[in-house]
Amino acid sequence: MTLDAQEARIIDIIDRVGWAVMNISPKKGDQDRRWSFTVGLPVTHGWPELICFGLRLDTMMKFLNNAVQELERKGLSPTPHLQLTEVIDGAPARLEAFSPDFYRQHLGWALWFAHHRGLKPEYFGCLQLMWPDKNGHFPMDEDCDAEARRIQTPVNPDCGDKG
């Protein structure tokens, strides 16, 4: 199988680092519907992928990298409801379930890489990295700011994710 340049680049990064982070922006319109996600964690770590919504792309990339590094450093496996303290300066982050209904629309590169490396679909998963609103409330909390909740809620995208 011949790889294109972007596929070869992703494989190289994962082989060197253990994961990659992909940033996705809509082609038009709703700029707060950006998201970032890891690629490679199910293959290299036996973990679910991580995905984050609603912030600047460079911020989400930093948060996802921080989350993987904190999990590695503390010897933790990512699970739903796990609170992380070294992802965001001055605030906790939380991992929550991410519905398989959204995998195809949001995780195309991660699904491609897992398939490329022969990972069986039943061993692929994803958790969402949630960030708190300015008052420290997460989207699943009753008192969370409506806008922070809205921009962290996945929707069906209209952009060029692999898949």
* pLDDT tens sequence across 55-102: 999 999 999 999 999 999 999 999 999 999 999 999 999 999 999 999
- Quote the pLDDT of residue 163: 46
- Note whether residue 157 is domain-resident: no
* pLDDT tens sequence across 4-23: 999 999 999 999 999 999 99
User: Is residue 32 pLDDT above 70, yes or no?
Assistant: no
User: Is residue 158 pLDDT above 60, yes or no?
Assistant: no
- Note whether residue 114 is domain-resident: yes
Confidence of residue 33 (pLDDT cuts 50, 70, 90): confident
- Note whether residue 59 is domain-resident: yes
Average pLDDT of the chain, as a whole number: 92
pTM greater than 0.75:
yes
- Note whether residue 160 is domain-resident: no
Give me the number of domains the chain comprises. 1
User: Is residue 36 pLDDT above 80, yes or no?
Assistant: yes
- Note whether residue 82 is domain-resident: yes
**Domain encompassing residue 147:** 5-151
- Note whether residue 113 is domain-resident: yes
Amino acid, single-letter form, for residue 137: H
Cβ distance 154 to 147 under 8 Å? no
Q: Percentage of the chain surpassing pLDDT 90?
A: 87
Nearest to 45 by CA among 12, 92, 77: 77
User: Is residue 42 pLDDT above 90, yes or no?
Assistant: yes
Confidence of residue 159 (pLDDT cuts 50, 70, 90): very low
User: Is residue 161 pLDDT above 80, yes or no?
Assistant: no
Return d(Cα 94, Cα 159) in angstroms, integer. 27
- Note whether residue 158 is domain-resident: no
Return d(Cα 24, Cα 22) in angstroms, integer. 7
* pLDDT tens sequence across 107-149: 999 999 999 999 999 999 999 999 999 999 999 999 999 999 9
Q: Tell me the C-alpha to C-alpha distance, in Å, between residue 45 and each of 72, 98, 140.
A: 9, 18, 28
Length reported for the chain: 163
Return d(Cα 119, Cα 4) in angstroms, integer. 21
The secondary structure of residue 135, as a DSSP letter, is T
- Note whether residue 159 is domain-resident: no
- Quote the pLDDT of residue 155: 81
